[in-house]
Every structure is written in C-alpha cells, then in structure tokens.
Amino acid sequence: MASPLLWDIFCKVIDNYGDIGVCWRLACQLAARGQRVRLWVDDANALHWMAPQGCPGVEVRPWAQPLALGGLAPSDVLVEAFGCEVAPEFIAACAEWTRSRGQNHAWINLEYLSAEPYVERNHGLPSPILHGPGTGLTKHFFYPGFTPRTGGLLREPDLLQRQAGFDRLAWLQQHGITPLPEARLVSLFCYEPPALPALLTGLASAGHPVQLLVAAGRSSTAVQTAIESRNRLHPSWNQRQTLSISYLPHMTQDDFDGLLWACELNFVRGEDSLVRALWAGRPFVWHIYPQHDDAHHTKLEAFLDLIEAPDSLRRFHYRWNEVDTQPLQAPDLARWAETAARARERLLVQADLVSQLLQFVARIRT
C-alpha cells in the first residue's frame, strides 16, 4: 500500500459556497483515505457553518499576502483549485524541494466542471514550466467531468448508504419544518434569476400546497425581494396561501444533502450543489453561474445534452438561466425524475474523482 502523501490545496473564495465547498469536500475525502491535507484559503468564514466540526487530517491555513510559510516544508502534491494562482514564493519552495529530493512533484490544476467536449481533450494534459520560480516543474490539468474520459465527480464511498438510511420526517422535524398535508417540498438555492417572481406565482397556483425551503444568503434575499414586488403589484397572487415559504439557516454540507433528499424538486446553483443534486437523484433545475459573455449558455446546453433532458426540462432551464424569455412552464416532475434517475445511474458506474486523482498523482510521481 502506498505511503500517505501531504497535499496542499489552494482555494480563493468567490461567493463563499461553491469553490470552498468543492475544496473542503476534496480535502475531507482525501483525508478519509489516509492522506494529509493543508487547505489554504483566503476566506474561511463559510467553513464555520459549512463544516463546524472540522475534519481529522485536514489543516486549514490562511492564504494571506504575502504567504506565511513559517518554515513549512512543501507538500508532495500541490492543487491549484479553479485556476487560482499560488504565491510565487510557494512555487519556488516547491521547485527547490523537488530538486533537493530528486523526486517528481505533482502540481495539479483542478479545473471547473463542464460537460463541454474540450474537457475530454484537455483532461490530464501536462504543462511544463519553462520560466519563473517554478522552472523545471510540470503542471497537470485535471478536469472533473461526467464521462469516463474525464476526472469524474466527487462522491463519498458511503454516500448511497447514507441516503438509503435517510429519515425524511426526522430530518425535517430536526430543522423545525412541519410537512403540510399533501404538500410538495421544493428547495431553492439560486442567485437572482429574473424568472424568480414567475416561479413563485407558478408555485402558488400549482393546484396543491407547496412548501418552499429557501437556502440562506443570496437565495433568501432574492425571494424576499421578489415577494415584496409581487405583493405590491399583485396583492392577490398567493391569496389562497397554497405556497408557504421557510427561510433556512446556513447548513452543513451533510444537512444540505438532507435537504435535497427531503424535497421532491430541487433548485441548485453553481457546481458543488449540482453534483449533490445529481447524486440525490431527485428532479432538479440548475442555475448556472452567469458569465458576462454568455459562455454559460453553451455550458448549460452541453449539460442538458449530456443528461438527455426532455423538452420541458430544457425550456425551464432556458428561462431560468435567461437563455430566452419564454413563459415559465409548470414542472413535469414525472419526466424530470426519470431523467435524474438515468443520469445518476450512468454516473455511478464511473470512478469517483478522488479515486481517479490518487491514481493520476501516483503516475506523475513515478
């Protein structure tokens, strides 16, 4: 059995959830397999509620400017998450450490998740460093993905067992949520989609009770703003009170899984929660991170093609992500559930990201 390695994972936080969420899962899953991890992060505040118990084998260190190495020896593996640029002094230390030991250093650029064709072409490619403090090192690009020719998705070995043993009613009661008779539970984790008022109106007129469970942060602010606007312009939009709304506190990563498992429809955003929605196997709608040049539209289309989304799910995603301005249609949960189940079944056949990453690093180092 190979000796455990020391990993340095560098993460710059963009919105407090996605980047740090992925990096924390990666760090914990590596530690669970006997690896030692130092997670360098420029803003660790989200970990206070996302992972309040910490994780054995994972040390969280501040990524300040300049970086305080404090005599630390470089690790065996350096992971740059999502193209963040590690401090030159750290790269120089890695290069010197590598030369002194005469052993290959694994420098991984962990890329963003996409279903676009370039992912398969670029996954695993080397990039020799010819200039600067890292001269002599080689960076390798590691792409998460949805196909066997990519790096796969983060998935804990016991995930399916945990979901199989999930007690929905107990989880809801633990979080102060009392299910209403015959109500459909819907979770909402989003940015600020212009179609949000239309969604709220549609849920309120769905013909059956709906309980909307809104994630903390931007989602809650967006919903409150949309409701104020609805109440001002159309005071009777929820007159029958068929739509009830609960604003949730910040949740741990395990509790977020529970939220997805408890609901019959999940609205998720970014990349980390998309992957968790796929593993949950429930109908879901993805709010992709918007880009100014609309490059996210191509990324969204590639994902919808990958999961073989039916027309109703495509149209809903187009409106939710501002690809078009067509009216927001009622969710077709039966068909969407079939789509989610098929996608999950295909993905479960593939090796998870950490298993593939460990094998990849072993090849580089030898």
Q: Known catalytic residue: 76?
A: no
Q: Which of 8, 19, 76, 111 is catalytic?
A: 19
CB-neighbour burial class of residue 91 (10 A; exposed 0-12, middle 13-18, buried 19+):
buried
Question: Dihedral (C-alpha) 288, 291, 297, 301: value to the nearest 10 degrees?
Answer: -50
Residue with tokens 């404090």: 70
Q: Which of 80, 111, 257, 271 is catalytic?
A: 271
Strands 265-269 and 184-188: parallel
Residues with a catalytic annotation lie at 19, 271
